[in-house]
Amino acid sequence: MRLGAIAEHYFQDDPNTCLIKLRQFGELPAQTTAAQAGLFTSPDEPQADLIRKLKLDRILPGETADLFHQVRIAGNRATHHLGGTHAAALASLKIARQLAIWFYRTSKKDQKFSPDPFVPPSDPAAASQAIHEELARLRKVLEETQSEAARARSNAEQEQRARLKAEEQAAKKPPIPGAARRRAWRLPS
């Protein structure tokens, strides 16, 4: 079902590619169903013929066959007419989801399978906006941190210069007269 995820990924930026991927997606459950029923002859068999055969042999319910055809037709239009709207892509996404649910229920023999409701693909622009806001926030934090680090470096450099200057001045001062005698006086003999 990777093709469904790829179709969803392209929905916002390229509805044409979304429709083409959904068309490809629709082929897989139809071919797998035909193979399970012993009716699959070739991957080159036209999808319309395969769907018709599955419907005639009562392997596909009529409504499900119609859904397969809808996805196939929308994908063909996107492929051959180089078009596709967001509305068509969204409709095909919903239909492809119904086909995936049908396929899961039939292939897993789990008619009680109850998926969550359909959620349209999220708008990548909204995600991009959130990412841009987070990047701006992180840049501001980095700038503040760098400013604090620069201030700390500057303060440390000023303190180091002051210390060196004080040491130089202390080294240049002449000795205090009589300091040696005073020291000597304090020393025991």
Proportion of the chain above pLDDT 70, given as a percent: 87
| Residue ranges making up the domain that contains 128 | 122-171
pLDDT of residue 19: 93
Task: Give the number of domains in the chain.
Answer: 2
Q: Which pLDDT value is given to residue 59?
A: 93
Residue pair 64/51 in contact (Cβ under 8 Å)? The answer is no
Q: Select the highest-mean-pLDDT range: 10-14, 20-24, 181-185.
A: 20-24
- Same domain for 47 and 115? yes
pLDDT score at 121: 81
12, 82 Cβ separation under 8 angstroms: no
- Per the CB < 8 A criterion, the answer to whether 22 and 7 are in contact is yes
Q: Is residue 110 part of a domain?
A: yes
pLDDT of residue 148: 80
Together in a domain, 91 and 7: yes
> Is there a contact between 54 and 3 (Cβ–Cβ < 8 Å)?
no
Domain co-membership, 112 together with 129: no
Q: What is the pLDDT of residues 119-174, one digit of tens each?
A: 888 765 666 677 678 778 878 887 888 778 788 888 888 888 888 888 888 777 76
User: What average pLDDT score do residues 164-187 get?
Assistant: 66
81 or 144, which is more confident: 81
> How confident is the model at residue 183, as a pLDDT?
55
Do 106 and 15 lie in a common domain? Answer: yes
Residue-wise pLDDT tens digits, 54-74: 999 999 998 999 999 999 999
Same domain, 25 and 57: yes
Amino acid at residue number 110: D
- pLDDT score of 82 more than 70: yes
